[in-house]
Amino acid sequence: MKIAVIGSGYVGLVAAACFAELGHTVICVDNDPEKIAVLHRGETLIHEQYLPELLARHRGQRVIFSGDLSEAVRASSVIVIAVGTPPLETGDADLSYVETVARDIARSLNSYKVVIEKSTVPVYTSEWIRRVMQLASATAADFDVVSNPEFLREGTAVTDFLYPDRIVVGADSDRAAEVLRQMYAPLTTGSYYQQAGAIPEPAGAQRPARLIVTTAKSAELIKHASNAFLALKISFINAVANVCEAVNADVEQVALGMGTDSRIGRRFLQAGIGYGGSCFPKDVAAFRSVARECGYDFPILQEIIRVNDEQRRRFLKKVRTALWTLRGKRLAVLGLAYKGGTDDIRESPAIDIIRSLLSEQCSVVAYDPAAMERALQVITGDLTFAEDPYQAAVGADALLILTDWEEFASLDLARIKGLLRYPIVIDGRNLYSREVMQKHGLLYVSVGRATVELESSQASALNLNK
């Protein structure tokens, strides 16, 4: 098929590369000439595993980049809208970019097209896209609008696309649904997985992919409801962690006991400093706003947000407790991205915590494998960057772990202890066992578990005011 993907952000660029990998011809459109120039030079804009390989494989052949939306629409049979829908102050999704694109698509139609909304949008968006396009002179027979939500996790977006749990197609016409069946056929028939050079299968993948056809409204709700439920699991285990701290239980053991129940599952039961990123905060707020607009308050969504915000404040309290005072302290921070495997710092708990530390007159030396350049653009204050975790630790009063990068879970702890001014590690991601930290003689503070205290001889030598 010939597919136009409008938008070259996380969703658009990954979708364009993956559709090309499935054998389609793709025009990826963006109205930012600088982005298009970067993509033409062979750069990728975002940090995603396998994305550079796919773009190198298909650039200039099955994938081309363009700033001309009208030309891309005329040359394609399927138009994928993958533009941003940032949150407004009210929590509603800003659909102005979607509206603008829908209007431009309508003015460029030269034959029947299937318009796919892949941006995360509230229910009724497909109806509004259809209405906008008709107001902009398109006739109903010239197009169909389909909701095809993405379920991509940053850092594993390519494998999530090619080895999906499910493909949801919200179509109100059989003709449009059949177009999407054909578009995803390499995944639903399993033919893609047989071809040479296919992206490696991740652990636990189910293939061939399952395609679920629903109405457009149901598909739009599936996306928001899915992300809200996952955010609920994170906030729930964090609330459990707070109870564990109060009664001296271990949240890791509690999560294991819960997660082995097949009705609950282990995923998203990792206690820590809360969720962030471009999806969960925005989608929970947008879902709450949609529910209120429809006449239902949906109070549990507000509680998800409250618990998530509280986790950051509780972590700062842990830092203060471990160090007594913060003013003048030098802190080593590992992690800036909202999660490991990505350079995305949007709504990152790490960024929020660093800003709070800087406001209390700390100096921060930070390291992140991918997100330091982005963080430099949004944080001001006494912040410097290190070349690796060990350089960050030199002379620091404590080491803070704020992002769950794999490399942070395998540090040379003896070396870390020797570099720190005080042997204090405050782990917001529970990357280490208490036994390991005790063995290395570190004062170890984590989430939902008892603090590993220093031996009396070490504790007496620890003077945080010297």
Residue 450 has phi, psi (to 5 degrees) of -65, 145
Q: Distance (Å, rounded) from C-alpha 381 to C-alpha 363? A: 8
Q: Which residues contact 280 (CB under 8 A, 6 or more apart)?
A: 227, 230, 231, 234, 347
Specify the pLDDT at position 366: 98
HSE-CB for 149 with a 13 A CA cutoff: 30
Specify the pLDDT at position 119: 82
SS3 per residue for 353-390? HHHHHHHCCCEEEEECCCCHHHHHCCCCCCEEECCCHH
Q: What is the DSSP letter of 346?
A: T
Specify the pLDDT at position 121: 79
pTM (predicted TM-score): 0.89
**Does the active-site annotation cover 279?**
yes
Specify the pLDDT at position 462: 63
Specify the pLDDT at position 84: 86
Specify the pLDDT at position 181: 98
Q: Distance (Å, rounded) from C-alpha 417 to C-alpha 99? A: 55
pLDDT tens string, the chain, 466 residues long: the values are 999 999 999 999 999 999 999 999 999 999 999 999 999 988 888 889 999 999 999 999 999 999 999 999 999 999 999 998 887 877 777 889 999 999 999 999 999 999 999 987 778 889 999 999 999 989 999 999 999 999 999 889 999 999 999 999 999 999 999 999 999 999 999 999 999 999 999 988 988 999 999 999 999 999 999 999 999 999 999 999 999 999 999 999 999 999 999 999 999 999 999 999 988 998 898 899 889 988 999 999 999 999 999 999 999 999 999 998 999 999 999 999 999 999 999 999 999 999 999 999 999 999 999 999 999 999 988 999 999 999 999 999 999 999 999 999 999 999 999 999 999 999 999 999 999 999 999 999 999 999 999 876 565 556 554 4
Q: At what angle do helices 299-323 and 216-247 cross, to 10 degrees?
A: 40
- All structural domains of the chain: 2-214 (3.40.50.720), 308-461 (3.40.50.720)
The active-site residue, picked from 18, 28, 279, 362, is: 279
Which helix H or strand E contains 63, and what residues bound it?
Answer: strand 63-66
Specify the pLDDT at position 466: 47
What is the residue type of 235? S
HSE-CB for 421 with a 13 A CA cutoff: 14
Q: Distance (Å, rounded) from C-alpha 288 to C-alpha 281? A: 11
Specify the pLDDT at position 359: 95
Specify the pLDDT at position 461: 59
Q: Distance (Å, rounded) from C-alpha 292 to C-alpha 432? A: 42
Q: Distance (Å, rounded) from C-alpha 337 to C-alpha 375? A: 8
